[in-house]
Structure 1
């Protein structure tokens, strides 16, 4: 898919990896819709950065775990920009609990993580599919995690949700072709404000245990997302960007 002149929705696009993806795609000439749930000022800042580059962007608030809000968001994009060519389902949430701390995860925690990380991507695909099919082409890229490949990460429900997101990617790819290609990236630990705010020591530990002795950059992950939007020959693929830690 040629990126210039196309429209992309990046959920969770206001901060961290989502912001990097939004900026990278804007540099390729895409009009970027920056979705946020709570980070309104960060979303405005991301839009301003894109506009400073000469790109087109606007921010829109929606909780991706809520069907009505997702449907309204997609309809608003079509109404405003006339099309929707790609979705990067990047919004996610978690809690920090040791895997053995079963009692530490509440039912509310479990439901919220599954609703955002899995149901949210499904709702986005469901809402966008009619428009993308009508256009004759579309791309969906889901942000999963190495925690979905092996039981690791911030908590058991997070790991399970990312495993489900990987299977969702493959299932959507099977069901939505040939017009819509669905792929995913599975980052390792990322050096973000959120990660450093929780426990900066985890970054040093990751680097020490990585075969490449580094941490996957936001820029490299964003490039992989870009490639999965550009591709015409990949669907159902999971691109692991983890400096080799899952070897």
Structure 2
């Protein structure tokens, strides 16, 4: 897919990896809808940064776990830009609990993590797909995690949600082809605000155990997402970007 002149929605696009992706895709000529749930100021700043680069962007609020809000968001994007070519389902949430702290995870924690990390990606894909089908082409990229490949990460429900997101990616790829290609990235521990929820010991252990002795970079992840939007030959793929930590 040629990126210039196309339109992309990045959920959770205001901060961290989402911001990096939004800026990178804007530099490639895409108009970017920067979704946020609570980070309005960050979303506006991301839009301003894109506009400063000469790009086109809009900030749009929606809780991706709500079908009504997601449908309204997709409708607003179509109304403004007239099309939607790609979705980066990047919105996510977690809690920080060790895997042996079963009682430390509340039912509310579990439901919220599943609602955002799994249901949110599904709802966004479901709402965008009819427009992409009508256009004859579309791309969906889901942000999963190495925590979905092996039980690790910030908490048990987070790990389970990312495993589900991996299976969701494969299922959507099967169901939405041939017009819509669906792929995912599975980052390792990234240097974002979420990293601060981990102990320094956890961060150091990740770095020391990975063959590259480093954290994966936001820029590398953003480049892979862009490549998965550009591709015409990959669907159902999970691209692991983890400095080799899962070897």
TM value normalised by structure 1: 0.98
Is the aligned partner of 1:55 residue 2:45? Answer: no
Structure 1: how far apart are the matches of 2:17 and 2:41?
16
Match of 1:141 in 2: 141
Give the aligned length: 247
Is the aligned partner of 1:222 residue 2:222? Answer: yes
Listed as ranges, the gaps of 5+ residues in structure 2 are none
Listed as ranges, the gaps of 5+ residues in structure 1 are none
Structure 2: how far apart are the matches of 1:195 and 1:213?
16
Match of 2:98 in 1: 98
Structure 1: how far apart are the matches of 2:134 and 2:87?
16
Match of 2:121 in 1: 121
Match of 2:26 in 1: 26
Residues 15/200 of structure 1: CA separation in 2 closer, same or farther (3 Å cut): farther
Give secondary structure in 2 for the equivalent of 1:212.
coil
TM value normalised by structure 2: 0.98
Structure 2: how far apart are the matches of 1:147 and 1:178?
29
Q: Deviations over 1:107-129 (max 9, x none)?
A: 11100000000000000111011
Match of 2:44 in 1: 44
Match of 1:189 in 2: 189
Q: Deviations over 1:16-44 (max 9, x none)?
A: 00000000000000000000000000001
After TM superposition, the runs of 4+ consecutive aligned structure 1 residues lying more than 4 A away are none
Structure 1 stretch 187-196 or stretch 65-74: which is displaced more?
187-196
Give secondary structure in 2 for the equivalent of 1:49.
helix
Instruction: Give the alignment's Cα RMSD to 1 decimal.
Output: 0.9
2:146 touches 2:246 (CA, 8 Å); kept in 1?
Answer: yes
Match of 2:245 in 1: 245
Q: Deviations over 1:145-181 (max 9, x none)?
A: 0000000000000000000000000000000000000
Structure 2: how far apart are the matches of 1:199 and 1:10?
29
User: What is the correspondence of 1:143-222 to structure 2 with a 5 Å cutoff?
Assistant: 143-196=143-196, 198-222=198-222
Give secondary structure in 1 for the equivalent of 2:33.
strand
Give secondary structure in 1 for the equivalent of 2:95.
coil
Is the aligned partner of 1:84 residue 2:96? Answer: no
Structure 2: how far apart are the matches of 1:163 and 1:87?
20
Question: 1:192, CA displacement in angstroms?
Answer: 1.2
Give secondary structure in 2 for the equivalent of 1:33.
strand
